[in-house]
């Protein structure tokens, strides 16, 4: 018995090692069909500035927004967009340094070109813009606090190797009908959740 | 409901909350701005040039009037609760004063244009703020005239809200703000002078209430104001929560200068309870304040 144990200890086989017997499988990309259609939401933040007469009196500001939309097919979606931004009056007027917020709500159409994880899109729509106060009216560059807005933009989206999430960068440019000859531009980064 | 449905539901609720919050914020702390007409001072005037903005408020509904009456009864003092009150209406003035000659449109008929050819290297200005609540109006110019002893004596100005004198070089501007807390002090002074005026020479409301801050002991000039009391050790105390202070409805600015200057200004109003008039169907609040007259004129 002792001889058998000793023989087993000293003359036992070396540990077995795993051996690759076939080529590794290719990286599995997410199936675009799983996130290219259906309901999605986005949260965004970035900057917004005014062009035209409003740009002389109102400084660039921080913008936060959200979108909810539906991709009907891989390349077309409809979405609702709500964004708020906060600004400070600038320049040499008596009301320099006052705060002003702007809220924009638009309905937009979006066209998307998807290249695996990357996608490029263009979007545009119309809606309403509302100022938090009559500051622009007092400065003589707006008639009403609420007015129509229309515009569009585009961006790029990067999809993680995850079913739901992607991030992106977008820019947009909107006409403000109630602010004399003024527009606003917006650049934001966003996180998208596809249901 | 599946886990997937749960996530969807939470996402939509979150989005709805974000939208509601955003829209809600649009109604919060949303001031309104009223631009006053730019006016000029040519320097060293006897009658200080002035500008004025009168705010328009809607009249209280029957229900709101009943609430005011009930509040008066609860407070227990024998005066009305103001409809336009300091705790609901917050006033501020932003202004910019520029050392410059008046434009041809602004120029008074008797203005000596040659002054502009040789402007002094520095000029001084003082902005004075007066106004009226729904009960009382204060006019620095009139009070100054009343206080003047002799025709050649320099005038003494005791504005409701004074500001610090500033010096400017030609072409230079100064931007400033008469803040809400400045107005809060001016408004309690105005009410003390109007509704709670103590004519007793030993503790007169005028002019002590204008010179001293109302919340600082010994609360000079506040002797008749509800909330004022003398404690057991003989010290004056003032409880600011007792009195509902009327806010200014009319804001008057006066510019005292020694050189030609122009002022542009905005009145900024935060209206907590939507009492400013903006609906044609609402009746406008009518007010007829009594002009304060200092003791010398009484």
* pLDDT(A4) > 60: no
pLDDT at B81: 94
Report the b/e string of A75-113 with b at 16+ CB within 10 A: eebebbbbbbbebebeeebbbeebebbbbbbbebebebe
Asked if A193's CB is within 8 angstroms of B11's CB, the reply is: yes
Q: How far is B23 from chain A (nearest CA, A)?
A: 8
Share of chain A above pLDDT 70, in %: 85
Average pLDDT rounded to a whole number, residues B194-208: 82
Each residue of B118-170: pLDDT tens digit?
899 999 999 999 999 999 999 999 999 888 877 778 888 999 999 999 999 99
Q: Which residues of A touch B34 (CB under 8 A)?
A: 138
Q: Residue A79 has which token pair?
A: 């979405």
Which residue out of A57, A69, A80, A95 would a mutagenesis test of the B interface target, given it has the greatest number of B Cβ atoms within 10 Å?
A95
What is the rounded CA–CA span in Å between residue B119 and residue B100?
9
On whether any CB of chain A is under 8 Å from the CB of B15, the answer is yes
Give the tokens for residue A44. Answer: 């965004």
* C-alpha–C-alpha distance, residues B249 and B243, integer Å: 18
Residues 55-94 of A with CB under 8 A from B: 66, 68, 82, 84, 92-94
Residue A175 DSSP code: E
Question: Percentage of chain B surpassing pLDDT 70?
Answer: 89
A103:B8 CB<8 A: no
Residue B197: predicted pLDDT: 87
With an 8 Å Cβ cutoff, are B26 and A103 in contact? Answer: yes
Mutation to test the A interface, candidates B35, B97, B98, most A Cβ within 10 Å: B35
Task: Quickly tell me which residue has 């309901």 as its tokens.
Answer: A39
Q: Rounded mean pLDDT of chain B?
A: 87
Cα–Cα distance, A189 to B211 (Å, whole number): 55
Most confident stretch, A86-95, A100-109, A153-162, B102-111? A100-109
Higher pLDDT, A13 or B247: B247
In chain B, the largest separation of any two C-alpha atoms, in whole Å, equals 91
**Of the partner residues A84, A101, A134, the one whose CB lies closest to the CB of residue B33:** A134
- What local confidence, expressed as pLDDT, does residue B1 receive? 44
Q: Can you give the pLDDT at residue B253?
A: 97
Q: What is the pLDDT of residue B296?
A: 59
B76: alpha, beta or left? (left if phi > 0; alpha if psi -120 to 50): left
- The per-residue DSSP string of B247-268 comes to PPSEEEEEEEESS-EEEEEEEE
User: Is the predicted pLDDT of residue B291 greater than 50, yes or no?
Assistant: yes
Asked if B174 has any chain A CB less than 8 Å from its own CB, the reply is: no
Question: pLDDT-based confidence at B216, cuts 50/70/90?
Answer: confident
The pLDDT value recorded for residue A127 is: 96
Tokens of B207: 């002019």
d(CA A54, CA A50): 6
Q: Which of A40-54, A122-136, A150-164, B243-257 has the lowest mean pLDDT?
A: A150-164
In this prediction, residues B237-245 reach a mean pLDDT of 89
Residue of chain A minimizing CA distance to B262: A94
Secondary structure element (H or E) that encloses residue A68, with its range: strand A61-73
- Closest by Cα among B124, B155, B109 to B256: B124
Model pLDDT, residue A92 = 85
pTM: predicted TM-score of the whole model, two decimal places: 0.82
B111 touches A: beta carbon within 8 Å: no
Contact residues, chain A, for B9 at CB < 8 Å: none
Beta-ladder partners of A63: A46, A85
- Say what the pLDDT of residue B177 is: 95
Mean pLDDT of the B192-207 span: 84
Q: Which residues contact B30 (CB under 8 A, 6 or more apart)?
A: A132, A133, B270
Is the CB of residue B175 less than 8 Å away from at least one CB of chain A?
A: yes
pLDDT digits (tens, 9 = 90+) for A22-38: 776 666 666 666 778 89
Q: Which of A75-79, A159-163, B45-49 has the lowest mean pLDDT?
A: A159-163
pLDDT at B11: 53
Query: Under an 8 A CB cutoff, do A94 and B264 touch?
Result: yes
């Amino acid at each position: 018995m002792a001889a058998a144990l000793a023989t087993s200890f000293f003359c036992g086989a070396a540990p077995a090692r795993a051996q690759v017997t076939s080529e590794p499988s290719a990286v599995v990309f997410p199936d675009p069909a799983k996130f290219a259609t259906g309901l999605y939401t986005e949260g965004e933040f970035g900057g917004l500035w005014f062009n035209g007469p409003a740009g002389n009196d109102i400084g660039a500001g921080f913008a936060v927004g959200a979108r909810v939309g539906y991709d009907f097919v891989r390349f077309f979606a409809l979405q609702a967009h709500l964004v708020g931004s906060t600004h400070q009056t600038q320049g040499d007027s008596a009301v320099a340094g006052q705060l002003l917020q702007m809220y924009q709500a638009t309905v937009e159409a979006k066209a998307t070109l998807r290249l695996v994880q990357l996608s490029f899109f263009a979007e545009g729509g119309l809606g309403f813009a509302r100022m938090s106060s009559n500051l622009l009216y007092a400065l003589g560059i707006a008639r009403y606090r609420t007015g129509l807005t229309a515009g569009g933009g585009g961006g790029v989206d990067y999809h993680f190797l995850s079913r739901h999430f992607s991030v992106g960068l977008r820019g947009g440019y909107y006409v403000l009908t109630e602010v004399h000859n003024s527009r606003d531009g917006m650049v934001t980064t966003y996180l998208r959740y596809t249901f | 409901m599946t886990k997937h449905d749960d996530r969807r539901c939470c996402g939509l609720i979150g989005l709805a909350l974000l939208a509601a919050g955003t829209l809600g914020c649009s109604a919060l702390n949303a001031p309104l701005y009223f631009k006053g007409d730019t006016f000029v001072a040519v320097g060293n005037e006897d009658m200080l040039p002035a500008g004025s903005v009168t705010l328009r408020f809607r009249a209280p509904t029957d229900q709101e009037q009943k609430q005011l009456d009930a509040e008066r009864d609860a407070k227990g003092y024998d005066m009305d609760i103001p409809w336009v009150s300091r705790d609901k209406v917050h006033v501020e003035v932003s202004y910019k004063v520029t050392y410059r000659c008046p434009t041809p449109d602004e120029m008074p008929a008797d203005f000596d244009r040659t002054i502009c050819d040789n402007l002094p290297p520095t000029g001084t200005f003082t902005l004075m703020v007066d106004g009226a609540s729904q009960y009382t109006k204060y006019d620095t110019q009139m009070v100054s005239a009343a206080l003047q002893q002799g025709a050649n004596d320099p005038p003494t100005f005791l504005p409701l809200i004074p500001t610090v004198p500033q010096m400017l070089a030609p072409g230079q501007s100064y931007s400033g703000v008469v803040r809400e807390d400045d107005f809060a002090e001016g408004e309690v002074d105005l009410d003390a002078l109007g509704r709670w005026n103590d004519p007793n020479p030993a503790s007169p409301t005028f002019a002590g209430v204008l010179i001293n801050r109302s919340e600082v002991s010994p609360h000079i000039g506040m002797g008749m104001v509800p909330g004022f009391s003398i404690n057991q050790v003989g010290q004056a105390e003032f409880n600011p929560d007792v009195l509902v202070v009327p806010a200014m409805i009319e804001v008057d600015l006066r510019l005292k200068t020694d050189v030609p200057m122009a002022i542009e200004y905005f009145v900024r109003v935060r209206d907590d309870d939507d009492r400013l008039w903006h609906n044609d169907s609402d009746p406008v609040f009518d007010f007829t304040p009594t002009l304060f007259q200092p003791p010398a004129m009484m």
